[in-house]
Amino acid sequence: MSQLKHLLSAGDLDREAAIGILDIAEEMADVNNRDIKKLPTLRGKTVVNLFFEDSTRTRISFELAEKRLSADVINFSAKGSSVSKGESLKDTAQTLEAMGADAVVIRHHASGAANVLAHSGWIQGSIINAGDGTHEHPTQALLDAFTIRRRIHGSGSNGKDLSGLKVAIVGDVLHSRVARSNLLLLNTLGAEVHLVAPPTLFPADASKWQAELHFNLDAALNDVKPDAVMMLRVQAERMNASYFPSEREYSRIWGMNADRLALLKPDTLIMHPGPMNRGLEITAAAADSKNSTVLEQVANGVSVRMAVLYQLLSGERANIDA
């Protein structure tokens, strides 16, 4: 497998590279089940978590993954730093470079921020995109693929892809970096992708995407009989206009609830990247059902991010069993 330097987009991964990361994540999951959940792999390496946008799961998950690989970890959030005094991304990046960061995990409200950092020359280390605006969130797509593969093919299903599986991505596609990264990775792994949303929440160019588009959730679930349904959060903070009449109306027409669960095959996975708007895009009955993978996704996120860091940073030092 060729050496990746950055992970900016799910499109950076071809089938072999994506399966390679999922397979390493299987080994990391074994480490995470041990008493001592720690590997020396990144000892002496410095990883900076540079978060310009709020995050709970992703930030904690990266931090835990870095610590389990024995990296030195610096958490830098825009609030409480010189960024709130107006320091630019360039000055911040150059400061991190001067401190010797080997990798920067960046979340930013601007689409393209991770690409700017990777190609600016301000920083020599690896850049990992932890979510840039409405653009991409590649580690979320990897952990979602890992979760689907484990649930459907079982743990330790190394080498397998997602061919033959049907995945429906439902809701606020327009504002979702999770949807964009999943679309790319699911296609790379051979799954059939269905996007289901009200016309106002589809991007203008969605008809060019490698997916089937649906404008009616009940019809889509009935016709497609998906193996997994990914519910997207309604991203109110990115909405500067009214995209649907009311929350009640949205949850009635587009929400995953007990009635819709009953339309699905009994073992269909109900996924959500979190944070969930319970009662809006998903009801408690669906979020807490046996079909739900929400907490597995969180747990798998740590293993997958360990695998990504290992892949980008470990070089010849590689020895998972150490």
Q: Does 233 bind ligand NCD (CB under 6 A)?
A: yes
Taking the C-alpha atoms of residue 80 and residue 83, their distance in angstroms, rounded to an integer, is 8
Taking the C-alpha atoms of residue 296 and residue 79, their distance in angstroms, rounded to an integer, is 30
Residues 122-141 that bind ligand NCD (CB under 6 A): 131, 137, 140
Nearer to ligand NCD, 41 or 235 (CB): 235
| Alpha-carbon distances, residue 81 vs 60, 71, 78, 99 (angstroms) | 19, 22, 5, 16
CB of 172 to ligand NCD, least distance (A): 8
CB of 301 to ligand NCD, least distance (A): 8
CB of 223 to ligand NCD, least distance (A): 26
Residues 71-130 that bind ligand NCD (CB under 6 A): none
Shortest-Cβ-distance residue relative to ligand NCD: 233
CB of 235 to ligand NCD, least distance (A): 6
Burial 220-246 (b: 16+ CB within 10 A, else e): bbeebebbbbbbbbbbeeeeeeebbee
Nearer to ligand NCD, 63 or 161 (CB): 63
The dihedral sign for the CA sequence 106, 107, 110, 114: positive
Q: 72: Cβ–Cβ under 8 A, 6 or more apart, which residues?
A: 44, 45, 46, 47
Q: Residue 95: count other Cβ atoms within 10 Å of its Cβ.
A: 17
Residues 248-287 that bind ligand NCD (CB under 6 A): 273-274
Q: Does 198 bind ligand NCD (CB under 6 A)?
A: no
Nearer to ligand NCD, 67 or 109 (CB): 109
Q: Residue 254: count other Cβ atoms within 10 Å of its Cβ.
A: 23
CB of 233 to ligand NCD, least distance (A): 3
Binding mask 167-186 toward ligand NCD (x if CB under 6 A, else -) reads ----------xx--------
| Alpha-carbon distances, residue 300 vs 32, 88, 113, 124 (angstroms) | 10, 34, 26, 29
Q: Residue 144: count other Cβ atoms within 10 Å of its Cβ.
A: 29
Structure tokens at 291: 């079909």
Q: Which of 5, 37, 57, 109 binds ligand NCD (CB under 6 A)?
A: 57
Taking the C-alpha atoms of residue 208 and residue 36, their distance in angstroms, rounded to an integer, is 48
Nearer to ligand NCD, 127 or 232 (CB): 232
Binding mask 15-54 toward ligand NCD (x if CB under 6 A, else -) reads ----------------------------------------
Nearer to ligand NCD, 93 or 173 (CB): 173
* Dihedral pair phi/psi, residue 46, rounded to 5°: -110, 125
Taking the C-alpha atoms of residue 288 and residue 84, their distance in angstroms, rounded to an integer, is 38
Nearer to ligand NCD, 94 or 203 (CB): 203
CB of 105 to ligand NCD, least distance (A): 12
Nearer to ligand NCD, 120 or 200 (CB): 200
Give the residues lining the site for ligand NCD (CB under 6 A).
57-58, 131, 137, 140, 177-178, 233, 235, 273-274
